[in-house]
Structure formats: structure tokens, C-alpha cells
Chains A and B, each alone.
Chain A
Amino acid sequence: MDNTENFSQFRRQSKKGILIIYLNILYKALKAFWILLFLFIQKFSKISESTLLYIYLGAAVILGLFLVRAFLIFKNFQFKIENQHFILKKGILKKTNTSIPFDRIQNINFKQNIFQQIINVHEVNIETAGSSKAEISIKALSFKEASALKQAITIYDKGTVHSETEIEEKPLLKVGFLALLKVSITENHLQSLVLLFAILVGFFQQISELFDGLGKQELLDNYITENTSSLEASVFLIVGLLIFFIIIAVLSSVVRVLLRHFNLTVFVKNNALEIYQGLTTKKSVILKNDKVQHITISHNPIKKRLGISFITFKQAISGKVKKKQDKVIKIVGCKTAQISAIKNLLFPDENLDNIDKNCSDSYYKIRLYIRSFLILLILNVGLYFAIENNHVFWIDVVLIPIFIFSVELSFRKRYYLFNEDLLLVGQGIIETHKTYLPFFKVQNIALKQTVFQARNNVADVIFQTASGKIKLPCIPLEKAHKIYNYTLFKVETSKKSWM
């Protein structure tokens, strides 16, 4: 047992890791070459037996090579803890040696996908705020090893102040299945639809490339044009399609929310939030208070009626990482009491209740109207040239009220207010977002003004934080200067650690 707790010597991951690495390689290969497999199945009957034999042999050799590769990756993946640094050696031919000082480690996350759940190992991800290359993922550790490793790293991190408080038995927040269902049904379905659509478009492109290669592009085009021409003819089909899309949208958001947030549990521990969630891929995330840059509390009208909101935590992101999504942590299904508990934890003793809201200048509304008008114009012209039919302009009867409605709403929901340390920005159209940003987390600040804004004596203020921008559009210049100066003053005199 002592062996599991000792990280001073180089050690490998759990032996089951070979299997996980192997599956990982297989998955990557499949993702890259699924079209080949598809072709193979399609042409299965046409391939002669002797070539089939070769194909099978080739596949077997490749699978065998993958296994060897998995074993070598496993063999060469070694890590240890030394001198308050986490040290990792890896690489088969190209050896890499990574060493990360503990205070640079932002997060230690556990993750379990479905295979890892079956063979009962945990993936440990060590995140740093530096470059994305420095992120470490240990594919397979037993729970005992994983928690020992986490302990070893976090104990140093908290230094002498660390007190062995176990997780309080009672979680701050636990979202059950029914509550989650409620959350998912009130999601932004349009967004889910767009997401789904994006995936489908990617899929379609791959398929059409395939057909293109086979010289069957015409066939596909014909198929599509045939269907679209009949689509123009039938109103029923359009209505049916609408209903179909709505159902798909609702279903996809339900599935998405359930997959990601199943069994969501949040604990408060020391100065951090521990979040556990996920169905097929279980994730555990530790969110340290200091590392949170800003949070957003959001709800929409239905969610408001049900008394639930979701909180989005933004942490510092490194450079130009593609998967920014990973650094955004979301807690869904929060009740009012839990929100104030979390707010208290992150920003103790801050009360913004009795402070007057500052609105954007009415110039902002004009800008929004001009922008919507331009979008409408482009849409109309585009549609006219696409369909070449004057009836197209009837779409404006629907679109114009929607645009006016959104502009009015988004202008009304735009506000900001601040006390000594904390800035609160409200925005949204149908959803309402409230973003809390402590002034000292600002990285740089900018004041932007177009010629027209200058004439109206308004300006945009843009706060750049380590996790993205926050914008105050079109506020009176005098106020903009004031908040600019105040933010600089706050940042320049702050001694607190911002990351």
C-alpha cells in the first residue's frame, strides 16, 4: 500500500492503461478513416475473396501495430513528484520531459469515459494556465492513486494553512434527474438546433466529398433539387418540417443536458468548488476561487418562473486554445439560495442590491437599429437573388417585428453597476445574463469610439480579462473616463493574486 502513495520515484500508470491507450488510438484512427470503412462495407459484395483476405490481413497487422504502439506509449509514460514540481517523461522516439511547478497548476480534474468506468480507472488531467502544450493527461490511474496524486499536489499548494477538512457530507447543490429534465426542457433550443445543424453540415460535407470522389455528385444534387422543388410546392411539408425541427431541437437539448450534467453535485471545500457530473463521461472538476476570472448568472423567462438559473464560470485561458469550451464550467439548475451561497463564496461581503443601474446611452439603441436594418437588407437582397420571386419580401412581415422586439429588449436589459470592487454587467435579449467581474482581475482596458460615437459623446469601454472580453457599449464619455480611471487605479494598487 505504501507503494501507491509514493510519488518520489518514477512510476507508470495502472496497467489497465494499455487498454485505454489502445482504445484511444483506435478511436482516433476510426475518426480519421471512417470513410474508408464505409466504402469497404458498401463495396463488400464486389470485392473478390483473395483481396478480402489481404484486407483482413492488413487490418489485423494494423491492429497489432496499434497494440505495440499502445504498449510502448504506456512503457514510456512515467511521472513523479520532486521538489514541488510534477515531472513527466513521455514519448517513444521523441522524448519529452515536462516539469510543472505546483503553483502553476490550475486544476486537477478527474474524468471517466464509459470504458474507463467499466475497467474502473480514472483519467487525471492537470491543467495549467500557461501554454496548452503543458497540459498533462494521465489516462488510467486507480482511484486510490489518483486521489493520492491529487492530495500530494494540493497539499503543497495550500502550504501550511491546509487543514484536513474532509468533504462536507452535505453538498451545496445536487441536481436530480427530474430537476435536470426541467432544466433541459427550458434550455435555449435554438442553440441546440444550431449545434446539431453544425454537426450535420460537417457530416454532410464529408459525405458529399465522398460522392464527389465517386463521380456521383450529380446524383446527390438531383436528389436534393428534386426534394427542394417539391418543398416549395407544399405548405404542409414546411409546417411538418417545422414541427419536426422543434421536436429534434428539444430532444437534442434534453440529450445534451442529460449527458453532460447527469447527477450534478457541487461541494464546497476549503477555497474551492468541487463539481461532479456526467453520464457516459463522468467528470470531476475542482474550481479554485482565485482562478475564477468572472462568473455569469443566466436565466430565461421560463427558467425564472421555475426559479432556476445557471452559472457560468470563466477561468483564465491559455493563448489561442481551440477548445475554449473546456475552460468554461457551467452549473445548471441553481436555486436562488444556492446562487447567493456561491456568490458569497467567490465575492464575500459584496452587496450590489441597492446600487442604481447605469444604462447605455440612447445612441446604443440607434446603433442596434442600424445594425439590424443592415442585416435585414442583406437578408432581403440575398433571398431575392436566391429565389428570384417577389413573394420573398413577405418574410419581412415576420422579421421586422422580431428585430424591433429584440432591439428594444436588448437595449432595456443592457445595464451596468458597480461598487468598490465588483462590476456587474447585465445583458440579454430573451435570456438574461448577469456578469460579475472583480475590478482587479482586469488585464487591460480599452476605450473605443467611432466618429459617430464621438459626435454623440459616447464611448465603448472594453475590459480584457484573462478569460475574454467584457464590453460596456455606448456609455457617456464622462462616465467612461471615470470607470476607466477607477479600474486602472484598482488594478495598479491591487496586491491580490488574480490567477
Chain B
Amino acid sequence: MTDSFQNIAVTSFPDVTKIDFKLIDIRYLKVILLNTSLLFIALFIVLFFINDKDIFELAEYSLWLSIAILVAFIVTLFIKNIEFKQRKYAVREKDISYQNGFFFRSLTTVPFNRIQHVEIDEGPISRFFGLVSLSVFTAGDSSDDLKISGLLKEEAQQIKEFISNKIDG
């Protein structure tokens, strides 16, 4: 297929340290930042109402509360920014891998011959940027399977096709 599957060389012994990971599309960072901003805007609105109606009698602390939320907002944005560079994925001949996290690093690999089905989801904000997320499900207690967010739509479709062919074949 296309050049997205160049890592095809699985030797008899796969070596996870030698995978060439691909980075997630930079546009997805915008999606993440937008999502975080929306969350914090919602928080600010809640804070505003609490102050306005003085529900918890916190009026005197309202300045400190807003500063705390603002600091949390900036820190979160900063962390999301760092973390984004750690989001990587790779498709090899027989498995698919995904790496993420900065403070909590994790690398997951799912072999194709254990995959039950593949799903592509579009979030409302992601759709605007033409991005999708690809989820892979295995059998049984599959709470912790693999989900790659922020893939280009065509690329995700290609990966899905590739995996489907591998499963059936």
C-alpha cells in the first residue's frame, strides 16, 4: 500500500526498541488544547455562578479560586503540550503499537491475530480538522485495548483495511 507501512520488515524476532514510530498529526494538538480550554471555560462559568449566587459562601476567596483555576489551566496546557510529542504509533507486519504519556509513559502492542474488530470514531472538534481516532478491540476483558487519536481520516481507513485483510487472511 502507501508509504505509511514502511515498517513492514518484521524479522523472525520483532524488536520493539527498533520500531520507527510515526508522530501524531500536529493538528491534533489543537484539538487537545481546544478541548482543554472548553473544559476550563466551563469551570470558570461554574465558578462565576458560585460567586454570583454565593452558594457555598466562598465570595471572599473568589479571587484566589480564579487564580488557582487559571494556574491549573496553564499547567495543564503546558503538560498536554509536552505529552503530545510522546504520542507515537507504528504499524508493523503483524502488530500495531501505540506509545504515549510523559509522566506515565506507556507502550502497548496488539498483535493482529488477536484483534476482534477495528473501529473509527470522529469527535465533533476532530472532525473539523479532518482527524479521527482508531480503536482496536481484542476478546474478553478488553477494557485496556489500543486507541490512537488524531489520525488522518484516510490513513486510519488504510490501517483499518490493512488490519481487516490480515485478520481475514
Contacts and interface: CB of A to CB of B under 8 A. Distances in A.
Interface string A318-357: 1110000000000000000000000000000000000000
B104 A446 contact: no
Contacts of B12: 489
Given A449-B105, A484-B16, A488-B14, A444 B110 contact: yes
Given A129-B139, A466-B139, A492-B94, A449 B110 contact: no
B17 A443 contact: no
Contacts of A445: 108-109
B7 interface: no
B13 interface: yes
Interface stretch (B29-37, B43-51, B142-150, B156-164): B142-150
Contacts of A444: 108-111, 114, 138, 144-146
Contact of B16 (A450, A485, A498): A485
**Listed residue (B109, B144, B146) with the most chain A CB atoms within 10 angstroms of its CB:** B109
Interface in B1-17: 10, 12-17
Given A443-B110, A446-B108, A454-B105, A316 B14 contact: no
B66 interface: no
B81 interface: no
Contacts of A450: 103-105
Nearest to A495: B113
Contacts of B109: 444-446, 484, 488
Interface residues of A, number: 35
B140 A317 contact: yes
B107 A443 contact: no
Contacts of A454: 105
Interface in A410-467: 442-451, 454, 462, 464-467
A468 interface: yes
Given A454-B105, A488-B14, A492-B14, A466 B110 contact: no
Contacts of B102: 451
B103 A317 contact: no
B114 A491 contact: yes
Contact of B106 (A448, A485, A488, A494): A448
A489 B13 contact: yes
A185 B139 CA distance: 38
Nearest to A293: B140
**Listed residue (A447, A468, A481) with the most chain B CB atoms within 10 angstroms of its CB:** A447
A447 B101 CA distance: 12
A446 B16 contact: no
A449 to B, nearest CB: 4
A323 to B, nearest CB: 13
Contacts of A498: 114
Interface string A79-105: 000000000000000000000000000
A256 interface: no
A317 B141 CA distance: 6
Given A484-B109, A485-B13, A492-B111, A446 B144 contact: yes
Contact of B113 (A316, A468, A492): A492
Interface of A: 129, 293, 316-320, 442-451, 454, 462, 464-469, 481, 484-485, 488-489, 491-492, 494, 498-499
The 7 A-B pairs at the shortest CB distance, nearest first, are namely A466-B140, A443-B138, A444-B110, A446-B108, A449-B105, A492-B94, A447-B107
5 contacts: A318-B140, A443-B114, A444-B108, A464-B141, A489-B12
Given A488-B94, A492-B95, 17 more contacts: A320-B143, A443-B110, A444-B144, A445-B109, A446-B107, A446-B108, A447-B108, A448-B105, A464-B141, A464-B144, A484-B109, A485-B14, A488-B111, A491-B114, A492-B111, A492-B112, A492-B113
